[in-house]
């Protein structure tokens, strides 16, 4: 059988291309990896190239390993000698043999992120800068960006000489480069930059690799930055004119502009490689025709594209449901209810479903909603909301203010932000606390007796003074205002804002969402003291500790993290202006990248797609009215099912209000899409109490006073079983299972 027989017509045309440059525009779900691997296998089987004469470049080690494995299944030759790897791994191989030509020893070391930060910290100190104003992460990001733009520190300083901050950052950059050279070290950006410098300056080395690699293949070409593009160009443009460069990509999935990817690289491929052939893969093997029509309808509004139209042979599919919700809590409930519906009606596992959002901060309300409904979940590409460092830091302050004997919280925040309280000082404090039988916090009040340096004594006195003031305020301020005060007074806010990187801004968004959670708690519960809030969050975090080995879990992630993945049922949340798209300018290239991001989100769904948006969303503790995303108007109307006239939460509330559970004069019945069956406490009052083996997390129960709730946890406390139930508008309640006035629905 011909190696290419199982490919469709366009896939075969691309894989069997003889000589010369070729651009394969591979739409979502059209078999990109299949074409790449069959192309390599075809070159080997047809003797057009030996395995070591092929260079295949990917963006991740996972993709490289998958490629090797699949090629190994297609050919009898060993793939060990093949150059298949990421840009970084390929450049390391080139540099190990030749870096001495540009002044480095071949035994150079590679500094990882932590090593870089240590060097940058040393540079900040040597340049005599205030570390509070010159953030390590922000400077690291600037250095990386300038390297990838091929801008040396001297040029950066010259261009920004009148800007004090940037000039000083340039001096740190310059010193950083000198320190790396002395240490014979390269950072990750250097691996690409130095390899490119080497190939540009050393003609004999350049020719060696140009001649060695008869065929060059590049995956995800739309994600290449300036350096990566230049590497492909210098290796692929041979003096002989045999430019056998095969690149695969999709300009409609170019979503990494914020980290340097340049969509123009794929758009201008024909100009860079004259005579290039273009093959478009448009037959989709993943999604229904409804989902593809929606994706096509959205992305056609972009100008920066080659143009293609995805289609499928499967002429079926459910209409896309766009759900209008009241707020983020209603949105979370809506998503949870729809998940249960899909599970019940279509026999889906939770692992067949994914929830996508634009920013990590959006996960908080969704996580709490899933917890209340007892739906297991996992976060891809990030931590669960209450496990994130910035959230734990704020929680540690709150817990220490509530309980001054809390040593774990004290240890976490005593030097966050930095207060020049060193390890030796902490050691002395700890010894004194242990000898005196007091907490470390209480030991701080006796700082004058500890024989510390004047600077350490002053730092601890300032810390205690700040905490005493906050302890007074916690009893007189609403919890949301008090948390804002803690965020400001402790210096956490200033510390967060110093890190002006993508990650740093994400942490600020998470803190803002945490403050919104406090405001939400304050509005929902009558008992809303600091003590109540801490108990609420701690219990949520405890219930959230799911078994990571459990496979049947819903996946939550940002759209960026979802690229390359697929699920039977997908929920895209937060389709509101200012959230998705995250920008407001109409005449801006960024809006096209946001639209591409939405296109990626839509094409993750195989069978069913739900899209939600909220009329009101809390931000930084304040309610904001939201308007529908402009992208929703771009989905063809024939792809959309009419949305419900009333939100899920409103329907639920309406149905519950029709039933008077306190009344002893009539039976209690709830019959709707979400709660099927009848609940009559008068009939069931004398029935045997619930046993732990008869009820499981996720079960619905009815409580006399609190109404319908979801079991989220059952735990042992001595000889008793305690059941944790999430009640709508009543929060999480701990009840003794033996005596709890509940019935299973």
- Is residue 219 flagged as an active site residue? yes
DSSP result, 392-403: HHHHHHHHHHH-
- Give me the half-sphere count of Cα atoms (radius 13 Å) on the Cβ side of residue 139: 31
Model confidence at 423: pLDDT above 90: no
Closest listed residue to residue 624, CA positions, set 327, 228, 402: 327
Q: Which of 13, 171, 219, 373 is catalytic?
A: 219
Residue of 30, 210, 253, 573 marked catalytic: 253
33 is catalytic: yes
Instruction: Tell whether the model's pLDDT for residue 587 goes beyond 60.
Output: no
Containing 194, the helix (H) or strand (E) segment is helix 188-201
From 308, 343, 519, 604, active-site residue: 604
Residue-level pLDDT at 643 = 59
Lowest pLDDT segment from 156-170, 333-347, 407-421, 634-648: 634-648
Give the mean model confidence (pLDDT) for residues 380-397.
86
pLDDT tops 60 at residue 371: yes
pLDDT digits (tens, 9 = 90+) for 467-487: 999 998 988 888 889 999 999
Catalytic site residue 253? yes
Q: By CB neighbour count within 10 A (0-12 exposed, 13-18 middle, 19+ buried), where does 18 fall?
A: exposed
Closest C-alpha to 42, from 65, 69, 67, 74: 74
Instruction: Let me know if 442 is exposed, middle or buried by CB neighbors in 10 A (0-12, 13-18, 19+).
Output: middle
pLDDT score, position 624 = 87
Q: What is the pLDDT of residues 628-653, one digit of tens each?
A: 999 999 999 999 986 554 555 555 54
Chain mean position to CA 325: 24
Q: How many residues does the chain have?
A: 745
Q: Is 474 a catalytic residue?
A: no
Say whether 220 is catalytic.
yes
What pTM was computed for the model?
0.76
pLDDT (tens digit, 9 = 90+) per residue, 47-85?
999 999 999 999 888 888 899 999 989 988 877 778 999
User: How confident is the prediction for the chain on average, in pLDDT?
Assistant: 86
Selected catalytic residue, list 12, 32, 606, 617: 32
- Catalytic-role residue among 177, 220, 342, 393: 220
Active site residue 710: no
Position with higher pLDDT, 713 vs 260: 260
């Amino acid at each position: 059988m011909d190696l290419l027989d199982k490919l469709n017509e366009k896939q075969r045309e691309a894989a069997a291309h003889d000589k010369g440059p070729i651009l394969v525009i591979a739409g979502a779900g059209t078999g990109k990896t299949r074409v790449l691997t069959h192309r390599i296998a075809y070159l080997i089987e047809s003797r057009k190239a030996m395995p070591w004469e092929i260079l295949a470049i990917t963006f991740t080690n996972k993709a490289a390993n998958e490629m090797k494995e699949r090629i190994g299944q297609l050919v009898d030759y060993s793939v060990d000698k093949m150059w298949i790897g990421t840009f970084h791994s390929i450049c390391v191989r080139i540099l190990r043999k030749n870096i001495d030509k540009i002044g480095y020893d071949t035994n150079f070391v590679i500094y990882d992120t932590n090593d870089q930060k240590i060097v940058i910290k040393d540079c900040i100190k040597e340049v005599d800068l205030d570390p509070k104003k010159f953030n390590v992460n922000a400077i690291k990001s600037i250095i990386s960006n300038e390297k990838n733009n091929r801008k040396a520190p001297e040029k950066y300083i010259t261009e920004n000489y009148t800007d004090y901050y940037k000039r000083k950052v340039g001096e740190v950059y310059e010193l950083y480069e000198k320190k790396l050279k002395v240490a014979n070290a390269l950072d990750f950006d250097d691996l690409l930059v130095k390899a490119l410098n080497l190939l540009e300056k050393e003609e004999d080395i350049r020719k060696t690799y140009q001649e060695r690699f008869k065929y060059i293949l590049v995956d995800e070409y739309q994600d290449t930055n300036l350096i990566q593009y230049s590497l492909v160009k210098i290796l692929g443009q041979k003096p002989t004119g045999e430019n056998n460069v095969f690149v695969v990509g999709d300009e409609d999935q170019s979503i990494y502009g914020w980290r340097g990817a340049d969509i123009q690289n794929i758009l201008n491929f024909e100009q860079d490689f004259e005579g290039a052939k273009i093959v478009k893969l448009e037959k989709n093997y993943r999604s229904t025709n409804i989902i593809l029509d929606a994706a096509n309808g959205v992305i056609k509004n972009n100008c920066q594209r080659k143009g293609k139209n995805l289609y499928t042979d499967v002429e079926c599919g459910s209409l896309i449901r766009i759900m209008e919700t009241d707020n983020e809590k209603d949105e979370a409930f809506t998503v949870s209810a729809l998940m249960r519906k899909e599970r019940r009606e279509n026999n889906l596992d939770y692992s067949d479903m994914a929830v996508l959002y634009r920013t990590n901060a959006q996960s908080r309300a969704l996580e709490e909603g899933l917890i209340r409904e007892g739906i297991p979940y996992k976060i891809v590409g990030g931590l669960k909301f209450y496990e994130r460092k910035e959230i734990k830091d704020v929680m540690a302050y709150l817990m220490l203010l509530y309980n001054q004997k809390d040593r774990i919280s004290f240890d976490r925040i005593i030097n966050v932000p930095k207060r020049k309280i060193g390890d030796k000082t902490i050691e002395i404090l700890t010894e004194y606390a242990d000898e005196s039988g007091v907490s470390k916090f209480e030991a701080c009040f006796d700082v004058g007796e500890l024989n510390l340096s004047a600077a350490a004594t002053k730092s601890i006195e300032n810390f205690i003074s700040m905490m005493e003031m906050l302890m007074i305020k916690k009893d007189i301020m609403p919890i949301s205002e008090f948390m804002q005060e803690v965020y400001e007074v402790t210096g956490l806010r200033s510390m967060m804002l110093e890190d002006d990187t993508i990650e740093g801004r994400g942490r600020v968004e998470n803190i803002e969402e945490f403050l919104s959670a406090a405001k939400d708690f304050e509005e929902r519960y009558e008992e809303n003291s600091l003590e109540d809030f801490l108990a609420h969050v701690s219990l949520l975090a405890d219930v959230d500790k799911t078994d990571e080995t459990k496979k049947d879990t819903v996946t939550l992630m940002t759209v960026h993290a979802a690229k390359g993945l697929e699920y039977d049922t997908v929920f895209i949340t937060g389709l509101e202006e200012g959230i998705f798209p995250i920008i407001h300018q109409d005449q801006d290239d960024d809006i096209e990248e946001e639209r591409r991001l939405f296109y990626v989100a839509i094409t993750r769904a195989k069978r069913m797609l739900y899209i939600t948006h909220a009329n009101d969303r809390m931000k930084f503790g304040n309610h904001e009215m939201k308007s529908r995303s402009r992208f929703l108007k771009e989905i063809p109307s024939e792809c959309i099912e009419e949305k419900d006239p009333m939100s899920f939460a409103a329907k639920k509330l309406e149905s519950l209000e029709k039933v008077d559970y306190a009344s002893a004069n009539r039976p209690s019945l709830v019959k709707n899409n979400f709660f099927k069956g009848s609940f009559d406490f008068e009939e069931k009052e004398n029935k045997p109490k619930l046993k732990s083996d008869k009820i499981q997390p996720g079960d619905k129960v009815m409580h006399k006073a609190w109404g319908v709730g979801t079991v989220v946890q059952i735990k042992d406390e001595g000889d008793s079983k305690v059941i944790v139930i999430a009640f709508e508008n009543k929060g999480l309640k701990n009840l003794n299972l033996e005596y709890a006035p509940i019935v299973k629905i």
